[in-house]
Amino acid sequence: MTTVAVTGASGFCGSHVAVAAAARGAGVLCVGRRPGPVGRHVPWDAAREVPDLSGADLVVHCAAAVGDPVPGSRAEETMLSVNVHGTARLLRAAAGRPVVWVSSASVYAPAAGRSPITEDHPVRGHLNAYGRTKAAGEALALAAGAVVLRPRAVYGAGDPHLVPRLLSRVRHGRIVLPGPSVPLSLTAVENLADACLLAACWPPGAYNIADPAPYERDEAVRAVLDAHGVRARISHLPLRAAHAAADAARFLARLRPGAEPSLTRYAVDQLARSVVLDVSGARARGWTARRTISDYTAALAHREEPARPARERGTPAGGGSGPRAVRGPERGRHSPM
């Protein structure tokens, strides 16, 4: 029986990977500060220690420090310790085992236009510490011969970030989004979990992971709000005003040590800039995205959403009436993302 070591298995993405591995008959080692939903717990503090991977045949590294901290803050230091130095310690412990390293599309340089982003898109120009440290960590993983997966905006049952933050932005029956609606790639956590377990057999390198087709931003937001029973009108804030608001929020956060800004330029960029991932590389290796936002919203509407996996730990990471997909070319917190 194959044994899979999943780091960050008590978090969002890691817990889904652990459950999927167990469902396929694998043994599971949940490597992290807290036990995962299945398997055996192997204690590990990614910021300080080398993990014990004894007995593992495959390592899926989901643990990460996520967030959008003020530059120079302790949270930014934590990201460096976990996402970069923690990766070095993990790779040292892996000792020749295949490693699947979960990265993020945040490593890509911001780009204008709506052309699909392939894996050879430049990795630079990061807007925050998360993007910088994920890029540095994945560089170590790639140099060590790992398979690196780059999802974008992972959502699904137990999501502690994306959907909760969206819902929290609703005020007086209205949600304000920066700029006009744009096509965006999103990644269902089930699609990412499938890729994590398949990718051990792929050639080393980076692979984009996303849903079958991108979504129109405003339609996706409206579908998620409706599925959660939230009735809200979508308004648009000009980009210049959104950037000014982000700069003001950053200034205020600097006055409160330890606080994260309520809005950042990174967050504005994530919502206002079209990012469509080309996933043909992963498809060529036999991976197929089987879930969409329609599945997620349908499950919510019918109260069939799976039980929420354990929340993340630490401190700063088809069917139904879903949104229209755009057809065309294709865990700060310690969190798996």
Spell out, as residue ranges, where the chain has pLDDT lower than 50: 304-322, 324, 326-337
Q: What is the pLDDT of residue 255?
A: 79
Q: What is the pLDDT of residue 260?
A: 75
Those residues with Cβ within 8 angstroms of residue 110's Cβ, 6 or more apart along the chain or in another chain: 125, 127, 269, 273
The CA distance from 81 to 337, in Å, is 16
H helix runs in the chain, sequence order? 12-23, 74-79, 86-94, 129-143, 162-168, 189-198, 217-227, 239-254, 265-272, 280-284, 293-301
Q: What is the pLDDT of residue 74?
A: 86
pLDDT digit string, tens, across residues 121-149: 999 999 899 999 999 999 999 999 999 99
Residues 133, 86: contact at Cβ < 8 Å?
no
- Can you give the length of the chain in residues? 337
**Exposed, middle or buried, 328 (CB in 10 Å: 0-12/13-18/19+)?**
exposed
Q: What is the pLDDT of residue 303?
A: 64
What distance lies between CA 233 and its chain's CA centroid? 27
Q: What is the pLDDT of residue 114?
A: 66
Q: What is the pLDDT of residue 99?
A: 98
Q: What is the pLDDT of residue 68?
A: 86
Please name every residue paired with 209 in a beta bridge, in sequence order, or none if there are none.
Answer: 151
102: tokens are 């979960």
Share of the chain above pLDDT 90, in %: 74
